[in-house]
Amino acid sequence: MQYRRLGQSGLHVSILGLGTNAFGKRADYETSKQIIHHALDQGINFIDTANIYAGTESEKIIGQVLEGSRHNVVLATKAGLVRGAGVNERGSSRHHLMAELEGSLKRLKTDYVDLYQIHTFDPATPLEETLRTLEDMVRSGKVRYIGASNYFAWELMKAIGISERLGLNRFVSTQVSYSLADRTPEAELVPMCLDQGVGIIPYFPLAGGILSGKYSSSNQAPEGSRAQTDPSFGRFLNDKTLTLGEEVNKLSEELGCTPSVLSLAWLMHQPVISTVIVGAARAGQLVENSRSVALQLDAATLARLDTLSKPFRYGDPFALYRLP
């Protein structure tokens, strides 16, 4: 396994991280436990979850599995998206974040999280309130580092500016949809993160499975796939994305690897990537995807992938989670 600094912090994370959105949904407790143990055996030390994944089941499962081995992982969770019907059960106000952190700590069976991330920008809460709340969490010892997610470049830059002006801890990382099927971060977010030393953590690195080669048409959903378990996912399956998946698959065959491994390796070759989080509904997926760490891509291959995916630098992001 290879390790990189999380942004400009002193924290080192595995270049391949474990995303746990499937825990408690497509992966039951025993399967999730097996996946976590396989991740640790592969040298993966970064585990990412959120307070809303599978309700709260993802955090609960992780807490149970990691009892006694919590110190071996860099544990990241999030808060800020909608948790309930109450007017204060969403966003990044002090009221909401303080309550959510306590809930996450209890479910994760730990007294601190290594990386606490604001799940999305909250236009209804002053950034200073959010950042001072995060500062208090860090000073209390319950949070080690702070990160953002689903922030536009200007929102992230504004937050960093406030933190520097007030002498507060600043965001060390940001999560964003980023893949061969979504290169929109390269327009503004990537240059900003390069300039400010913020690490990027891509989610949907395989575009929900489109880059894994599992989808051959928009009408056929493989058993257990995201398109089958989440009918709304069908909006991503179109001629443009399916063609990209086919072309990536052809190139991976030439290189003797899977399209998933090739797609993940491409991300690892991009600037300011700290860790690439990949989800898994079974342990075998994680074992296969870990081969991306050792795959070195030459200039010619990178150029071909750039040409294939260049149309995906423009338009709307593949995924973006914002408060309603």
Q: Which among 173, 175, 232, 241 is positioned nearest to 207, based on CA atoms?
A: 241
Chain-centroid distance, C-alpha 256: 27
Residues across the chain: 324
Residue whose entry in the numeric block shows the structure tokens 């342990």: 283
Asked whether the beta carbons of 107 and 78 are under 8 A apart, the reply is no
Catalytic residue among 53, 116, 203, 215: 53
How does 69-86 read in b/e, with b if 16+ C-beta sit within 10 Å?
ebeebbbbbbbbbebeee
SS (H, E, C) 124-162: CCCHHHHHHHHHHHHHHCCEEEEEEECCCHHHHHHHHHH
Question: What tokens does 141 get?
Answer: 């010892």
One-character DSSP codes across 247-258: HHHHHHHHHTS-
Residue 102 exposed, middle or buried by CB count within 10 Å (0-12, 13-18, 19+):
exposed
In 10 A of CB 215, how many CB atoms? Answer: 25
DSSP state string for 158-195: HHHHHHHHHT-----EEEEE-BTTB-GGGTTHHHHHHH
- Report d(CA 305, CA 113) in Å as an integer: 36
Contact 244, 308 (CB under 8 A): yes
Decide if 53 is catalytic.
yes
Cα atoms found within 13 Å of the Cα of residue 308, Cβ hemisphere only: 24
- Which of the residues are catalytic? 53
